Amino acid sequence: MIAFVFSQQLYRVKIQIMNKKIAVLPGDGIGPEVIQEAVKVLDAVAKKFHHTFEYKTAKIGAAAIDTVGNPYPQETHDICLWSDAILFGAIGDPKYDNNPSAKVRPEQGLLAMRSTLGLYANIRPIKSYNSLLDASPLKPEIVKDVDFVVVRELISGIYFGSPRGRSEDGKHAFDTCEYHADEILRITEKAFQYARNRKKKVTLLDKANVLATSRLWREVVSGYAAQNPDITYEANFIDSAAMHMIQRPNQYDVILTGNMFGDIISDEASVITGTLGLLPSASIGEKAALYEPIHGSYPQAKGKNIANPMATILSAAMMLEYSFGWLDEAKTIEAAVEKALEQNIVTEDIKQGKYGTNEVGDAIIQFILD
């Protein structure tokens, strides 16, 4: 009887561990379409590995402005705090982009979410696929076997600096770039942590020859590197690094950089894969972790069933690994995506693919369950 009771307790503990709560934020444009496929893939993983996911859906961006007038409502924030992880689609709508007088914009919701949830570390893996080497505008021998990670500081710098604004006559505008040493240190610690589990190399990208904030970055990061000699450390200017990334992307392991530079350089790196539709990301903080594709809302494709869901599906794989510690489940998704690529079951952004968003998702699900 004691053994039976003990086994029941273990079973209850196991069920509790395997039951995960996920906040689902579809957002704008193609966000709902790609999120739908990622959720379907997660359900397939749950079936295969005997997990249980509880989802709560919330509005953000233009979808939230249109209904409640706030791009990041309190209800959405509460659902994010309730969750074990957040799966996010995209933000942005042309009716706000093309309206200079708009007082509230969808992107404010994304910045508010990052700030209030403390999502200070953005992790963007860049990986080439052998089946897509000819899809990149770069030569196959340049992009072959590329595998690096961009670790971007996400809640400081010029995107969050104050003061900012425009003069009354509209002819003068200003933004403030601001960093504190402790903000730089915590993202540096994260970058070195990732490097320690990879090829043990960190490259800082900055503009220390011009910017005072970049000089602070160099001081903090070089000081930390001196205390961690097991990691090879180097610092490069962002402009020359942008050139080197196209010429010799294999030289990188972990790239560490600030908010705006990280935003730009990781989008540049998308040419290595041949499409933005394959690049996932994680935003890690003290209160929460969020997973999203790096592409935007792509409003031109909204409702046409042509958006590539793979970046969102791979973001879900990152969630399983980073937030839940489920490496086998994450690898299963990654292998299914790679199989779809090898069989050319892709959307039009890859080699003029002929498959729809839902068909790609269904194929990946089938590969997971086989």
Catalytic residues: 159, 207, 239, 263, 267
DSSP for residue 339: H
Main-chain phi, psi angles of 85, to 5 degrees:
-165, 160
| Tokens coding 333 | 């998704």
Question: Partners of 87 in the beta sheet?
Answer: 24, 291
DSSP state of 251: G
Cα–Cα nearest to 34, from 266, 264, 267, 296: 296
Amino acid found at 259: N
The token pair at 273 is 């894969």
Strand stretches in the chain, DSSP E: 19-27, 52-57, 85-90, 121-127, 147-153, 165-166, 173-174, 201-206, 232-237, 254-257, 280-284, 289-293
Q: What is the DSSP string of 137-199?
A: SS-HHHHTT-EEEEEEE-SSGGGT-SS-EE-TTSS-EE------HHHHHHHHHHHHHHHHTTT
Q: How many residues does the chain have?
A: 370
Reference 364, options 340, 332, 347; nearest CA is 340
- In order of 22, 264, 288, 318, the CA distances from 284 in angstroms are 15, 19, 7, 11
